[in-house]
Amino acid sequence: METPCSDSTELVEVKLRGMRSLCSSTPGDTDFSIRGPVGNGVMITEKYRIKKDDKVRIIAGKDKGKIGKVLKINRKNNRIVVENINIIKRHVRPGGQHRQGGIIESEGPIQRSNVMLMCNKCVTPIRIKMKRLEDGKKIRVCRKCSEIIDS
Ligand SMILES: [Zn+2]
């Protein structure tokens, strides 16, 4: 029998993340596997540990190269909403909730793997590492300049 967690790399990954097991991800999330990056994956992206209010750079899609603040994170389907990124225009007809109708603009969710965390000091997309403080608290620091990401 094949169990999703028997793979050793996954086990390591779970330890690194220190978060919920990968087993909890729903196999039915086909949208992600189709539109996510091929090959250099989902696993690496997870290490960035993007949080709300982080500054991120978009590395893929129509807003590639832009920088924005993370507004919302949906861990369940690996999507995030970034300020002023992936603006969707929705045409609404008058009636129902929208009395006036017209066009509504709002940020649409994007794949978490399409963004990279930014370092304020390097002003470049970075990889982070986890650092344990004396009081046992773990913080995220820039792998390049050791600038603390968490404040
Ligand atoms: Zn840095």
Q: How far is the CA of 23 from the centre of ligand 1 (A)?
A: 33
As its CATH architecture, domain 12-118 has Roll (2.30)
- The predicted pLDDT at position 149 comes to 87
Q: How far is the CA of 145 from the centre of ligand 1 (A)?
A: 4
Summarize the confidence of residues 17-23 as an average pLDDT: 45
Q: How far is the CA of 53 from the centre of ligand 1 (A)?
A: 17
Half-sphere exposure of 52 (CA within 13 A, CB side): 5
pLDDT band at 123 (very low <50, low <70, confident <90, very high): confident
Q: How far is the CA of 73 from the centre of ligand 1 (A)?
A: 23
Q: Encode pLDDT of 86-95 as tens digits.
A: 999 988 888 7
φ/ψ bin of 104: left (φ > 0), alpha (ψ from -120 to 50), beta (otherwise): beta
Summarize the confidence of residues 100-127 as an average pLDDT: 88
pTM score > 0.85 for this model?
A: no
